[in-house]
Structure 1
């Protein structure tokens, strides 16, 4: 099965644990990889005005993905989505930070394009509302159905 890995916002400002970086790295080299990085531009997404906080203006991914894209806001940019379409995957595996917000927003964007989003449930973290990511995983299953785990992927030789 042709797969692509989308890594959502695994960046220093979100303080990912070492195990998340290590385990995502285990998938590198097995398929094309794309990482997003959340950066702030108030003119594009008014985080400060609406929520009273903002991500950093400059940031980098902590994962050595094949391609990196900056985004402003919750969902992947059209540039990210176009790149994923060009890779013509049968499914897009999704992992990263903020399972119930940014990761879920990526799922909706991928679903709307017919790219069969599949959440790697043990490679996501939630927000301060739900650090475990369980709420986001439940929402994902409800909306998109498809989930997997790192163990399942490694067992298939992904």
Structure 2
């Protein structure tokens, strides 16, 4: 199966657990990959004005993906979607930070672009509302159906490996 990997916002400012970074790292090199990093630009996305919080202005991805794209806001930038569409994958595996917000937004963007978003449920961490990510997994299943685990991809459970 032709697959691609989309890694959402695994960057120092969001303090990802080491098991998440290492688990996603095991997928690098097995398929084409692209990572997003959230950076702050108030003129693009009103984080400070609306939420009273801002992401770092200069974070870099902690994952050595084939490509890294900067984003401002919840969804992936247009160049990320264009890159993935050029690959013509049968499915796009999605993992990363904030299962119930940014990861879910990526799922909607992929779906709307005609791609098949597939969540790697044990390679995500939820937002401060639900750090377990279970809310996001349930929403993903409801909207997109396709959810897999590391074990189903032939990898060890990232939390115990």
TM above 0.5, yes or no, is yes
Comparing both structures, which one devotes a greater share of its residues to helix?
1
Instruction: Name the TM-score class by shorter chain.
Output: over 0.9
Q: Over aligned residues, Cα RMSD in angstroms?
A: 0.7
Partner of 1:48, secondary structure, is helix
Shift >3 Å, 4+ stretches: none
CA distance in structure 1 between the partners assigned to 2:61 and 2:28 by the alignment: 14
Instruction: Give 1:22 shift.
Output: 0.8
Deviation of the 1:71 alpha carbon: 0.2
> By how many angstroms is 1:154 displaced?
1.3
Could you report, residue by residue, the CA deviation over 1:39-60 in whole angstroms, capped at 9, with x for unpaired residues? 0000000000001001011110
In the other structure, the counterpart of 1:31 is 31
What TM-score results when the alignment is normalised by the length of structure 2? 0.95
Q: How many residues align?
A: 155
Q: Identify the residue that residue 70 of structure 1 maps to in structure 2.
A: 70
Structure 1: any 5+ residue segments left out of the alignment? none
Displacement, 1:98? 0.5
1:82 positional shift:
0.6
* Structure 2 residue aligned with 1:136: 136
How far is the alpha carbon of 1:86 from its aligned partner? 0.7
Alignment partner, residue 110 of structure 2: 110
Q: Distance in 2 between matches of 1:55 and 1:136?
A: 21
- Residues 23-72 of structure 1, C-alpha deviations (whole Å, 9 max, x = no match): 11111111001000000000000000001001011110000100000000
**What's the secondary structure of 2:94's corresponding residue?**
strand
Q: Give the Cα separation in 1 of the matches to 2:154 and 2:25.
A: 12
**Alpha-carbon separation, structure 2, partners of 1:58 and 1:43:** 16
Alignment-derived partner of residue 11 in structure 2: 11
- 2:158 counterpart residue number: none
TM-score (norm 1): 0.97
Distance in 2 (CA, whole Å) between partners of 1:146 and 1:6 is 15
**CA shift at 1:113, angstroms?**
1.2
